[in-house]
Structure 1
Amino acid sequence: MLPPCPAPFNMARHVLTRGAMTPQKTALSVVGAQGAEDWSYAQLIAAVRGTATGLLQRGLVPGDIVLMRLGNTTDFPLAYLGALAAGLVPAPTAAALSAPEVAKLIEVLAPKAVLHDPQVPCPEGVATIDLSELRMMHALAPAPWHMGDPDRLGYVIFTSGTSGNPMAVMHAHRAIWARQMMFEGWYGLTGEDRLLHAGAFNWTYTLGTGLMDPWTMGATALIPAVGTAAADLPALIAQHKATIFAAAPGVYRQMVKDGKHLEMPALRHGLSAGEKLAPATQAQWEHATGTRTFEAFGMSECSTFISGAPSRPAAAGSLGAPQPGRNVAILGAAGPVAAGTTGVIAVRRDDPGLMLGYLGAPEQTAARFQGDWFLTGDIGVADAEGFITYQGRADDMMNAGGFRVSPLEVEAVMGQAPGVTGIGVTEVAVKTGVTVIAAFYTAAAALDATALERYAQDNLARYKQPRLYIHVPDLPQSANGKLQRRRLKAAYEENNHV
């Protein structure tokens, strides 16, 4: 079991404590075709603590929220940790957001300042601290760590907004302490590792798995330079002796689509999160690299808490098991259900990684709980060994003749049909009051619908078989690489005037 978070506590101090013991070791290397930009732990810690000094000198005080409008550069994690070191509350956001979208977030956050790269959209008229000023702060004298209650507000992140408007998720400083459960429960991470994350600096998956966690262990983080394509990653992994690789499923699909052998001698395994990794992609990766992938399931409100790991690989078809120390259950209307029974995946209220709540939205926070359990909104079923099979979002589930069908189940099967390179399955309306299961697929050219129907008949129960097969040039994805089934549904119904 994970011991209680110590008090007083500061998240940034916790992340950088082990690195301070090896000051000349490379903490971060931004790698690309033009070489590498390296930061030692000594340089990293000095820049973080100098940033903390500079932010306080600007009149900000502990507890103030600062909105982050920074690009895909090292400035992002330095400012993030600098704010935390000073006791401020950073709110990282995706650089791709438009100024009107950011204006809505500002209404929710009421930030005291905006840390701003002029190249990143931001509404006019808000108080900003410019990127050039942030960079000058690196050389300032180090601020003392702001120590305090580990349950105090540490940072705010926004949900993806797939179910409506994005919600501002409040996390305590102790959230970083809880991430230790991932080190053995998912990563197999040690201080000697070199972890290459394929994502951008300003994505929370990269910020946690790609930076904060390796630094907490005193390991080396590798981040691809801006403009690096998926096809370039194997060479970078090999050249920079990456031992662990992390990415979203979409990146894995791109890396293995040509069926070539990928020579990465130092690599032990890969990590995947963000959406379900298709079994076909997993098999292609294993064939191409000779290494396994370990998948994790989580969310903005609790990071990842179910996973496979080198020490405990997931059962076939499952996401994995609750990480050691986690309290996870499958819930029905009356509470936790028995193994083999489908229900909502839930996390117990006392999990140290669980959010404090939604900022300014106590009713929405309360609505996510059933007694002592936080409801994820995702459907799953656990076996007798505790391995959980994911069946999709509750609002993604399809209804076929009275049967509830997971799109993931249909995608896993039809994604292996000859000629199919990618697939998204959802329920669409074909006329008022009539819906069917539709399979939207990518392929080199449109495939014979009859052949697809025969494949479905041979591999799926009748009620799970798609009634429509639609060839599309590509599948819509979010900025984080998640398949957006709702966009497929909306586009079909709009084009067909349903």
Structure 2
Amino acid sequence: MNLFFKYKPFSHLFTSRVCCRFFTKDNAYFAPRNFTDYEDIKKIYKPEVPEYFNFASDVLDKWTVAEKNGTKESNPALWWVDSHEKEIKWSFEELGFHSRKVANILSDACNLKPGDRVIVILPRIPEWWLLNVACIRAGLILIPGTTQLTAKDILHRLQTSDAKCIITHDALAPVIDSVSAQAPSLKRKMVVSGSPRDEWLCFQKLFQAASDKHTCIRTRSTDPMTIYFTSGTTGSPKMTEHSHCSFPIGLTVNARYWLDLLPSDVFWNASDTGWAKSAWSSVFAPWIQGSCVFAHSMARFDAGVILETLAKYPITTFCSAPTVYRMMVLHNLASYKLKSLKHCVSAGEPINPQVMEQWKDSTGLDIYEGYGQTETVLICGTFKGMKIKPGSMGKPSPAYDVQIVDGDGNVLPLNQEGDIGIRISPQKPFCLFSQYTGDPEKTASTQRGDFYLTGDRAIKDEEGYFWFVGRSDDVILSSGYRIGPFEVESALIEHPAVTESAVVSSPDPIRGEVVKAFVVLSPAYSGRDPEKLLSELQEHVKKVTAPYKYPRKIEFVQQLPKTVSGKIRRNELRNKEWGKA
């Protein structure tokens, strides 16, 4: 049964945008109804999960039918631009046509079967979207990765995931060649751009010859659909698995109530293609609503380019990490006419109230904050129409029962700091990740009593708003990236100058927080020029692990604070950095 057939016939929540419509059995639309406050969200959000569900056939192909019937606004499904003003616009029908060709490439040329795992490491190019949809059509498990991954990072992902195929662009192909022999499960490599390479399939050549006739695999809602690697504190990145219902159906709550999207909207999410936020806001949420996904190739972040793009194109909704807003308010915003922009959201880390105020003073637009993680859909948010409390994460998403709990899993009173928990008993929410693949102990460690713990601490006030306090572990949130200190420490220790190191977060006015390393030098390096050594260590970390993880601050110390058992007291160092010592 189709997802849309099982939804209660309700329209969009807020009176400012009440014309959102959903499919009926006759492929018509339900009449709009008015909902005006947060309490209405909780009453009406009651999705039912069918036994079988596939986002490509049950959502995207239905929008194609709507296009043909003239019951959908003439808005592209994907609108991609680059720095040279080249544009590609695909309707849902064209997206379906191209993605079916790619699904055939994956099944035939790559010899992949439903359930096989595929690593895709691509920048913001149209093929990235095609591969997302094609993997769903073919029943394959997509494993996205950022283009900043190093050879070591890629090897870990290949060996841990047992991926049978890896797809990338020409710049990363030599890096993959340097480690692929150590990944026995890898059977196929495909390059999307550049000249043909030995032992690599050529995407462009295969695409030209591929058939557009493809029958979508019938997937169960609970079948695994995608895996995202996420950083931890005491080990290598873990595999976070999502099913065909957890993201594709679960993200309706993001699409309708936080992003406030309609089929007429043009939505730009500035996230990197390697992160779960790209699934949230560059694939599922906008296309659930039939909205246009806007994308800019933008190889390097440039606040000026973002502002110019917002001014030039009819983008109605914009989503980014707080860092982007912090950089944009440093520009002369008055010189940019953002005529189409109506709704701005932020996620990835807390946003400064001062930035929210500066943005509104210059643009007249509020920034609506959202909170979630790789393992979830939206956990808390400031929804369209809600009172904004600057500095707050907003109220709990109707997808979850969110509470502040103590060390035993008991719900704490209001205004008391504790761990953010999502109730999973008596019934686990369908829009929570399935497991940390291959790591049952790690999966079990996230549960405390009746709650799944997010790893963050917060306070809940009298009006039900949540206020972020900090991580309960040592993960660093910098410019929207989640960085585990273990990986940075492991990279540092490979340098002969480093005897020992501890990595924590440190406040930064632009990025919110950055990576700081406390380093104990080996005797042979104790007399070296500290400035040169600092630069050398930073460059070393960039080469050993992904460049975004390098420590922007390094402090050389004689010793590190430790527990009686010899464990480094990162908490003590972090408190010192944040003025809490």
- Shorter chain as denominator, the TM-score bin is 0.7 to 0.9
Q: 1:361 to 1:264 in 2, by over 3 A?
A: same
Conserved 8 A contact 1:248-1:273: yes
**Aligned position for 1:243:** 316
Q: 1:152 to 1:300 in 2, by over 3 A?
A: same
Distance 2:149 2:297 in 1: 21
**Aligned position for 2:96:** 45
Distance 1:60 1:33 in 2: 35
Please state how far the C-alpha of 1:185 moved relative to its aligned partner.
3.0
Out of 97, 111, 115, the position equivalent to 2:163 is 111
Q: Quick check: 1:26 aligned with 2:76?
A: yes
Out of 456, 463, 476, the position equivalent to 1:385 is 463
Conserved 8 A contact 1:314-1:321: no
Q: 1:222 to 1:397 in 2, by over 3 A?
A: closer
**Aligned position for 2:191:** 131
Counterpart AA for 1:45: G
**Aligned position for 1:219:** 291
DSSP-derived class of the 2:81 partner: strand
Counterpart AA for 2:308: A
Counterpart AA for 1:254: M
Aligned residues: 433
Counterpart AA for 2:54: N
**Aligned position for 1:168:** 239
Conserved 8 A contact 1:18-1:218: no
Distance 2:171 2:462 in 1: 52
**Aligned position for 2:269:** 197
DSSP-derived class of the 2:379 partner: strand
Q: 1:91 to 1:278 in 2, by over 3 A?
A: same
Conserved 8 A contact 1:268-1:291: yes
DSSP-derived class of the 1:54 partner: helix
Q: Quick check: 1:277 aligned with 2:351?
A: yes
Conserved 8 A contact 1:19-1:27: no
Counterpart AA for 1:31: V
Distance 1:103 1:397 in 2: 22
Distance 1:201 1:56 in 2: 23
Q: 1:238 to 1:93 in 2, by over 3 A?
A: same
Please state how far the C-alpha of 1:429 moved relative to its aligned partner.
7.7
**Aligned position for 1:457:** none
DSSP-derived class of the 1:181 partner: helix
Counterpart AA for 2:171: Q
Q: 1:2 to 1:369 in 2, by over 3 A?
A: same
Distance 1:372 1:137 in 2: 49
**Aligned position for 2:221:** 150
Identity of aligned residues (%): 25
Counterpart AA for 2:213: P
Out of 116, 138, 144, the position equivalent to 1:86 is 138
Conserved 8 A contact 2:418-2:457: yes
Conserved 8 A contact 1:314-1:387: no
Please state how far the C-alpha of 1:155 moved relative to its aligned partner.
0.9
Please state how far the C-alpha of 1:90 moved relative to its aligned partner.
0.9
Q: 1:230 to 1:372 in 2, by over 3 A?
A: same
**Aligned position for 2:325:** 252
Counterpart AA for 1:211: V
Q: Quick check: 1:16 aligned with 2:60?
A: yes
Higher deviation after alignment, 374-383 or 346-355: 346-355
Please state how far the C-alpha of 1:194 moved relative to its aligned partner.
0.5
Please state how far the C-alpha of 1:169 moved relative to its aligned partner.
0.4
Mapping of residues 294-373 of structure 1, within 5 Å: 294-334=368-408, 335-349=410-424, 350-373=428-451
DSSP-derived class of the 1:60 partner: coil
Distance 1:81 1:427 in 2: 39
Structure 2: gaps (5+ residues): 1-44, 69-73, 193-201, 477-503, 521-540, 561-581
The CA RMSD measured in Å over matched residues stands at 3.1
Q: Quick check: 1:4 aligned with 2:78?
A: no
Counterpart AA for 2:452: F
Q: Per-residue displacement from partner, 1:407-458 (whole Å, max 9, x unpaired)?
A: 99x96xxx8xxxx667648999899xxxxxxxxxxxxxxxxxxxxxxxxxxx
Please state how far the C-alpha of 1:226 moved relative to its aligned partner.
2.7
Q: Quick check: 1:54 aligned with 2:115?
A: no
Please state how far the C-alpha of 1:72 moved relative to its aligned partner.
2.8
Q: 1:428 to 1:157 in 2, by over 3 A?
A: closer
Conserved 8 A contact 1:182-1:305: no
Distance 2:277 2:62 in 1: 22
Q: Quick check: 1:265 aligned with 2:339?
A: yes
| TM-score w.r.t. length of structure 2 | 0.68
Q: 1:300 to 1:226 in 2, by over 3 A?
A: same
Structure 1: gaps (5+ residues): 399-406, 432-475
Conserved 8 A contact 2:143-2:228: yes
Conserved 8 A contact 2:146-2:272: no
Q: Per-residue displacement from partner, 1:372-412 (whole Å, max 9, x unpaired)?
A: 311111000111222100001013599xxxxxxxx99x96x
Counterpart AA for 1:72: R
Distance 1:178 1:397 in 2: 25
Please state how far the C-alpha of 1:128 moved relative to its aligned partner.
2.6
Q: Report the structure, 1 or 2, having the larger strand content.
A: 1
Please state how far the C-alpha of 1:19 moved relative to its aligned partner.
2.7
Q: 1:381 to 1:144 in 2, by over 3 A?
A: same
Distance 1:217 1:191 in 2: 6
Distance 2:171 2:345 in 1: 31
Counterpart AA for 1:102: I
Distance 1:100 1:397 in 2: 20
Conserved 8 A contact 1:18-1:215: no
Counterpart AA for 2:455: G
Conserved 8 A contact 1:15-1:213: no
Conserved 8 A contact 2:99-2:131: yes
Please state how far the C-alpha of 1:247 moved relative to its aligned partner.
1.0
Conserved 8 A contact 2:98-2:212: no
Counterpart AA for 1:56: S
Conserved 8 A contact 1:76-1:202: no
Distance 2:397 2:391 in 1: 17
Conserved 8 A contact 1:31-1:225: yes
Q: Per-residue displacement from partner, 1:231-286 (whole Å, max 9, x unpaired)?
A: 12222112211110111111111111134324201111211111111112111111
Q: 1:190 to 1:493 in 2, by over 3 A?
A: farther
| TM-score w.r.t. length of structure 1 | 0.79
